Structure formats: C-alpha cells, structure tokens
A and B are shown apart, each in its own frame.
Chain A
Amino acid sequence: MKFWRTPLDIDKLQIPRGELHILKERCKGCGFCVEYCPKGVLELSDEFNSKGYHPPKAVKPEECVNCDLCELLCPDFAIYCVRAEAGEKEVSN
C-alpha cells in the first residue's frame, strides 16, 4: 500500500547527484557513514590508512544523492559531499 501521492510535477524534478570526497588519512574507521548512507554507496575498504584504519570507499558512487548524511555523521571530518555539476537524473516513479 502506498501512503504518498505522486508529485504533480514529477517530470520536472531531478534527483541531485553528489560527488564524494574521502579524506582517508583522517578516517578512524567508525563505519557511521557506511551504516547510514541511505543509498548504500559506501563500504569499508580493505586498504589501511597510516593509522591502521580501513577508510570507506564508494562502491556505488553514481548512487550518491548529495544528502550529506555521511558528512554530518562523520566524527572525524573525513568525508564530505559536493553537488556534482552534471549528471542529475530524472526522478523515476
């Protein structure tokens, strides 16, 4: 059952696209960004940074919608998101 209506201007709406920046050396591997990315964009990598933590990597970067949640949750200021210039995609119903 659907509890929401389809927006009338759905054909005009575009889902924003984000570009992820991961500052690997600052990461302490808490996994907050991986856990709470609503699009499952991130995964902890096998790679080590110089502190010995596994920083995240974007496994589905094209899915990023620039919601900034990873940036807001990261306790180490190690990840941020900027709006991608092009490549916004249409909202599918």
Chain B
Amino acid sequence: MSAKVEEQVREEHPLEKILRMDRIPHIWCPTCGLGTTVTALSSALEQLQLDTNKVAVVSGIGCTGRVAGYMKLDSFHTTHGRAVPFAVGLHIARPDLKTIVFSGDGDLISIGGNHFIHTARRNVDMTIICVNNFIYAMTGGQVAPTTPLTAKAATTPYGNAEHPFNLPLLAASSGAVYVARWTALHVRRLTVAIKEAIQKPGFSFVEVIAPCSTLYARINKLGTGLDLMKFYHDNSVIRHGADLNDVDIDFQSKIVVGKFVDIEKPTYIDCLNAGNKRAFGDKYKPYGGGNGDN
C-alpha cells in the first residue's frame, strides 16, 4: 500500500519547484482556501520570472502563518503579529530582495495592527498578502477583528457585537500604494493582483477572502468551504477603484472585490536617501542595503 502511495505522490506537480515538497501534505483542513492562495503566489512568482533566490517570505502565527514553511524560499516563521516588523528589518538590510509578508487577518490586523498601519505609513517596499477567513482558525474559531457583525465564533456564541475592520480602507488610509481584494475563487485575478503588488515599489496590500470550513463555516452553519466558494461566486461584485467606504463586509453580504488603489509614492528608502542627500550633499552615498560596504 505505502509503496503505491509513494509512487503516486512522486508525480511532478508544476509548483513542486517552489514548494517544500518534504513538508507537503500541508496541515490545512479540507476545503481551506489557503492552499489556493499559495498557488496564486507561486504562479505569480513564476509568471514574473523572478529569481526565487531573491524572494523572502515572512509569516506570523496562525493557519496562514504556516505558509512560510511550505514555500521553498528564504522563509521566516516569526511570532504572532510580528511578521511585518521582522520584514521591515529584513527589507532594510536587503532592499534588493522582494519581501513578502503572508499573514492572516487576526495576526496582521489584531495583534499586529499597529505594525501594519505604521509600515504602510512609512511606505516600506513590501507586499502584504492577508488571507482573511473572518476568524481565528488555528486556535479554534475565536472572533477576529474582521468577523462580520452578528457572525458567530467560539468566543461570540451569541453573535459578534463588534464592527469589523474594512481592511482595504484601513490599508489605503494608512498609506498603502496598492490595495486589492479578491476571493480565493478569483484565483486568476488574484494572481494578477499579487504580481502587480510585488512589482509595485512601496507598501502593497492584497486581501484574500478565503473559506474556513472547519470553523467559520461550521460555527455559522454555512456548509463547507465549497459552499463558501459558491457564495463568493454568487455574491462577489467586481468594482475596480470602488469608494473604499463602501467595501465593508457584513455577514453574508455582497463582497466588493477589485483593485482599489494603485498610486505612486516615494518609498521609505527613497525618502531616507532624499533626506540624507539634502543634509549631506555629495558626502552621502545613497543607501543600497547590506553592511554599508556596497
């Protein structure tokens, strides 16, 4: 039996070169949307023909935090909420690398919320992929800052009494230069968005609405992850450039998706160099990273 299994698994999936196959199968539940999002990032990297030696991925804690462990890239699985500041340090040390933060909604926006808004404000050149499944999944389905009002969670058994964050609005108003939202079903558009985000100099943010069948769907009696995908199919409204005040997500409401923000703004390192140039003139050598020996 096991020999046969081995043989079947050894077939070469096209993404195998960018995944740590020695760690697959992953820990995510059946019908979880995370694997699909990983495929979108992998396809984006492949289509951009980036040198994958020069891409680093940083994750925090939670189901999404495990992404770093499955991507065959220089990858860092940090502490809860702290992927972004870790990535800030990494990016400043090595601005030649593409730094991608792959994190969940609770990790990035609740415990890591302060880091998120400040890094957006500084316009540090990195790409944030936020997988929003509306719940803390790894810990067993507790309420998140993205859980829609009235939705149930393990810690809001009578329905959530809090208004959720509108993530695209939060990112844009904090200073992000690229903001998009897609669902795990819009996998081609998501791939395009991730490609654009990676190429964009500055703080780019892609929210991915993804199904959590084991917790969010089960607790709220929404069926399986497949039912959530069908829901996204029927209820997503593509509206590029939408007024971000209108993209709130209510419980089982329409989900506005699209590319919302795509602007130009000097990055943190651009501003750092410009400021020091003003102060020191030709004595200042523009910062390019590393130990200053470059």
- Give residues in A with beta carbon < 8 Å to B: 21, 23-26, 28-32, 35-36, 50, 53, 69, 71-78, 80
The 6 closest A-B pairs by CB, nearest first: A75-B35, A28-B30, A30-B31, A72-B187, A75-B36, A31-B226
Indicate whether A73 sits within 8 Å of B185 (C-beta atoms), given known contacts A28-B31, A35-B226: yes
**A72 B5 Cβ-Cβ under 8 A:** no
Please pick, from B1, B15, B191, B225, the residue contacting A77 in the complex, using a CB distance under 8 A.
B15
B:1-54 near A, CB below 8 Å: 1, 5, 8-9, 11, 13-16, 19, 24-26, 28-36, 39-40, 43
B195: shortest Cβ distance to chain A, in Å?
14
**B33 A80 Cβ-Cβ under 8 A:** no
Collect the chain A residues with CB atoms within 8 Å of residue B15's CB. Answer: 77
Verify if B230 is at the interface (C-beta below 8 Å from A).
yes
14 cross-chain CB contacts under 8 A: A23-B13, A28-B31, A30-B31, A30-B224, A31-B226, A35-B226, A69-B188, A72-B40, A72-B43, A73-B36, A73-B184, A75-B33, A77-B16, A80-B14
Please pick, from A23, A36, A53, the residue contacting B30 in the complex, using a CB distance under 8 A.
A53
Collect the chain B residues with CB atoms within 8 Å of residue A73's CB. Answer: 36, 39, 184-185, 187
**A77 B13 Cβ-Cβ under 8 A:** yes
CB closest chain-A residue, reference B24: A77
Collect the chain A residues with CB atoms within 8 Å of residue B226's CB. Answer: 30-32, 35
* B184-220 interface code vs A (CB 8 A; 1 in, 0 out): 1101100100000000000000000000000000000
**B36 A72 Cβ-Cβ under 8 A:** yes
Verify if B61 is at the interface (C-beta below 8 Å from A).
no
Q: Give Cα A38 to B15, complex, Å.
A: 22
**A32 B14 Cβ-Cβ under 8 A:** no
Tell me if B's interface is mostly helix, strand, loop or mixed. Answer: helix
**A26 B25 Cβ-Cβ under 8 A:** yes
**B5 A50 Cβ-Cβ under 8 A:** yes
**B19 A25 Cβ-Cβ under 8 A:** no
**B35 A71 Cβ-Cβ under 8 A:** no
**A29 B30 Cβ-Cβ under 8 A:** yes
Q: Give Cα A25 to B30, complex, Å.
A: 13
**A75 B9 Cβ-Cβ under 8 A:** no
Verify if B229 is at the interface (C-beta below 8 Å from A).
yes
CB closest chain-A residue, reference B187: A72
**A72 B39 Cβ-Cβ under 8 A:** yes
Collect the chain B residues with CB atoms within 8 Å of residue A76's CB. Answer: 25-26, 35
**A77 B39 Cβ-Cβ under 8 A:** yes
Collect the chain A residues with CB atoms within 8 Å of residue B36's CB. Answer: 32, 72-75
A83: shortest Cβ distance to chain B, in Å?
12
Q: Give Cα A24 to B13, complex, Å.
A: 12
Collect the chain B residues with CB atoms within 8 Å of residue A53's CB. Answer: 30
Collect the chain B residues with CB atoms within 8 Å of residue A26's CB. Answer: 9, 24-25
Collect the chain A residues with CB atoms within 8 Å of residue B11's CB. Answer: 21, 23
Indicate whether A74 sits within 8 Å of B35 (C-beta atoms), given known contacts A21-B11, A25-B5, A26-B25: yes
Q: Give Cα A71 to B11, complex, Å.
A: 14
Collect the chain A residues with CB atoms within 8 Å of residue B191's CB. Answer: 72
Q: Give Cα A10 to B29, complex, Å.
A: 45
Q: Give Cα A71 to B12, complex, Å.
A: 13
Collect the chain B residues with CB atoms within 8 Å of residue A50's CB. Answer: 1, 5
